[in-house]
């Protein structure tokens, strides 16, 4: 059975040109979480919406989360978490640093019951690298530290983001199943 990719944006969603939006277009069968309120997020509503999408998926699920989406993923109830095969958790947010995100605090510090990769940047303005590393250790995640990559979004030059797509593919049972974009193919050819 094919793995379904679920894209979990963070606070204020991920607009056009963001790697999450580009991947949604490229990955067959990918689903995107659509929250009712992107500007004033509430943990119960966000987690409930994500859990429903996970539980309604017909087979195994792989999560591609960004920022506050990572924290929402960590808050999933056990029933939904059991359906997840893996999660790429990119540039996790620090809900204790921004009042608008405080409903997501405290962040769970328990091991996730699936394989996960946390990707963080040395200069992310929304989450210190040490905190991202602490999340990674607590969640039992592999840790990828990027140097000076900002919030790993469009503003920091991460549109298509081939490295992220390769990390996401490593979490699935069918890593060669997705059509690669031109930029991704050229990057692989030169490495």
Question: 74, 139 in Cβ contact below 8 A?
Answer: yes
Chain CA centroid to CA 9, Å: 7
pLDDT tens-digit profile of 137-153? 999 999 999 999 999 99
Architecture of the domain delimited by 4-190: 3-Layer(aba) Sandwich (3.40)
- Rounded to an integer, what is the distance from CA 159 to the centroid of its chain? 15
pLDDT at 177: 56
Cα 75 from chain centroid? 13
12 vs 68: CA distance, rounded Å: 9
Q: Which pLDDT value is given to residue 191?
A: 33
Cα–Cα dist 13/162, whole Å: 20
Closest C-alpha among 138, 135, 102 to residue 119: 135
pTM of the entire predicted model: 0.92
Euclidean distance between CA atoms 38 and 6, whole angstroms: 17
32: helix, strand or coil: strand
Q: Is the pLDDT of residue 184 over 70?
A: no
């Amino acid at each position: 059975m094919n793995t379904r990719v679920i894209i979990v944006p963070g606070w204020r969603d991920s607009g056009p040109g963001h790697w999450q939006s580009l991947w949604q277009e490229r990955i067959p069968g990918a689903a995107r979480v659509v929250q009712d309120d992107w500007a004033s997020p509430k943990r119960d509503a966000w987690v409930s919406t994500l859990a429903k999408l996970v539980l309604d998926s017909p087979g195994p699920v792989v999560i591609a989360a960004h920022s506050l989406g990572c924290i929402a993923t960590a808050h999933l109830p056990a029933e939904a978490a059991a359906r997840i095969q893996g999660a790429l958790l990119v540039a996790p947010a620090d809900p204790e640093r921004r009042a608008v995100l405080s409903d997501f605090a405290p962040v769970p510090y328990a091991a996730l019951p699936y394989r996960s990769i946390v990707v963080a940047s040395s200069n992310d303005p929304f989450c210190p690298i040490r905190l991202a590393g602490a999340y990674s250790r607590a969640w039992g995640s592999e840790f990828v530290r990027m140097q000076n990559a900002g919030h790993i979004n469009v503003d920091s030059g991460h549109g298509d983001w081939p490295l992220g797509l390769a990390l996401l593919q490593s979490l699935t049972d069918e890593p060669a199943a997705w059509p690669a974009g031109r930029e991704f193919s050229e990057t692989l050819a030169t490495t």
